[in-house]
Amino acid sequence: DSGVTQTPKHLITATGQRVTLRCSPRSGDLSVYWYQQSLDQGLQFLIQYYNGEERAKGNILERFSAQQFPDLHSELNLSSLELGDSALYFCASSVEYRGGKLFFGSGTQLSVL
């Protein structure tokens, strides 16, 4: 058990809908990262928060947004969902601001039908 909690584990929804993925980092970790894993792609970095502030942004679509709350949990919001958004979404946490070992949650498998 990595200590990172992600919910829900599975999500099935329809095109055009909006969903929220939730992540609670390990106790003491200030950095939260979101990654997308889809078929034939490696782990694609979406966004990082550090202690409530957005620190780094990857190839995150404008339809996607995230935030980190004062208790350090984070949410990833995906809207106007398309079939191509179907993927495994991971949250990871780290104690460091940059470059630290990542501890991954169990992921949320999103299926857009």
Partner 1 sequence: ILNVEQSPQSLHVQEGDSTNFTCSFPSSNFYALHWYRWETAKSPEALFVMTLNGDEKKKGRISATLNTKEGYSYLYIKGSQPEDSATYLCASLNSGYSTLTFGKGTMLLVSP
Any long-range contacts for 54-62 (C-beta under 8 Å, 24+ apart)? 55/31, 55/97, 55/98, 60/34
Measured from the CB atom, the residue of 85 and 94 that comes closer to partner 1 is 94
Measured from the CB atom, the residue of 57 and 63 that comes closer to partner 1 is 57
Q: How far is the CB of 91 from partner 1 (least distance, A)?
A: 9
Angstrom distance (rounded) from CA 18 to CA 100: 32
Applying CB under 8 A, which residues contact partner 1? 2, 4, 33, 35, 41-43, 45, 48, 55-58, 90, 98-107
Angstrom distance (rounded) from CA 6 to CA 53: 20
**44 close to 97: Cβ distance less than 8 angstroms:** no
Measured from the CB atom, the residue of 81 and 93 that comes closer to partner 1 is 93
Q: How far is the CB of 14 from partner 1 (least distance, A)?
A: 26
Q: How far is the CB of 80 from partner 1 (least distance, A)?
A: 25
